[in-house]
Amino acid sequence: MNDKKRLEKMGYRFGGKNKHAAVKICEWTRESLRGKGVCYKEKFYGIKSHRCLQMAPGVNSCNHKCAFCWRDINITNPKWNGPIDEPEVILNKLIEEQRKLLMGFKGFDKTDMKKFKEAMEPNQVAISLAGEPCLYPKLPELVDLINNRKMTSFLVTNGTIPEMVKKLEKHQPYQLYVTLAAPNEEIYKKTCGPMIKNGWKKIMKTLSLLKKFKRTVIRLTLCKNLNMINPEEYAKIIEKAKPKWIECKAYMSIGYSRDRLGPAYMPTHEEIKKFAKEIEKHSSYKIVGDQKASRVVLLTA
Ligand code: SF4
pLDDT tens-digit profile of 140-183? 999 999 999 999 999 999 999 999 999 999 999 999 999 999 99
Angle at 166 between CA 165 and CA 168, to 5 degrees: 65
For the CA of 29, the closest atom of ligand 1 is 5
231 CA to middle of ligand 1, Å? 27
Q: How confident is the model at residue 79 (pLDDT cuts 50, 70, 90)?
A: very high
Residue 282 · residue 220 · CB < 8 Å: no
pLDDT given at position 107 = 87
Residue 161 · residue 91 · CB < 8 Å: no
- Give CA 16 to chain center in angstroms: 22
pLDDT given at position 167 = 98
What percentage of residues in the chain have a pLDDT greater than 90?
97
18 CA to middle of ligand 1, Å? 25
125 CA to middle of ligand 1, Å? 9
What percentage of residues in the chain have a pLDDT greater than 70?
100
Q: Does 1 have pLDDT greater than 80? A: no
Residue 56 · residue 21 · CB < 8 Å: yes
Third-level CATH fold of 3-300:
TIM Barrel (3.20.20)
Closest Cα to atom 3 of ligand 1: 39
Q: Where are the domains of the chain?
A: 3-300
Q: Does 75 have pLDDT greater than 90? A: no
pLDDT given at position 214 = 97
Closest Cα to atom 7 of ligand 1: 54
Within 138-246, residue ranges assigned H as helices are: 139-148, 162-168, 185-192, 199-208, 231-241
156 CA to middle of ligand 1, Å? 11
Residue 245 · residue 41 · CB < 8 Å: no
Across residues 83-92, what is the average pLDDT? 98
Out of 31, 51, 52, mutate this one to test ligand 1's pocket (max ligand atoms within 8 Å of CB): namely: 52
pLDDT given at position 3 = 86
Out of 26, 30, 123, mutate this one to test ligand 1's pocket (max ligand atoms within 8 Å of CB): namely: 26
Closest Cα to atom 2 of ligand 1: 126
Q: pLDDT, tens digit, for every residue of 185-242?
A: 999 999 999 999 999 999 999 999 999 999 999 999 999 999 999 999 999 999 999 9
Q: Does 118 have pLDDT greater than 80? A: yes
Q: How confident is the model at residue 271 (pLDDT cuts 50, 70, 90)?
A: very high
Out of 12, 25, 27, 41, mutate this one to test ligand 1's pocket (max ligand atoms within 8 Å of CB): namely: 41
Out of 23, 25, 49, mutate this one to test ligand 1's pocket (max ligand atoms within 8 Å of CB): namely: 49
Residue 175, helix vs strand vs coil: strand
229 CA to middle of ligand 1, Å? 27
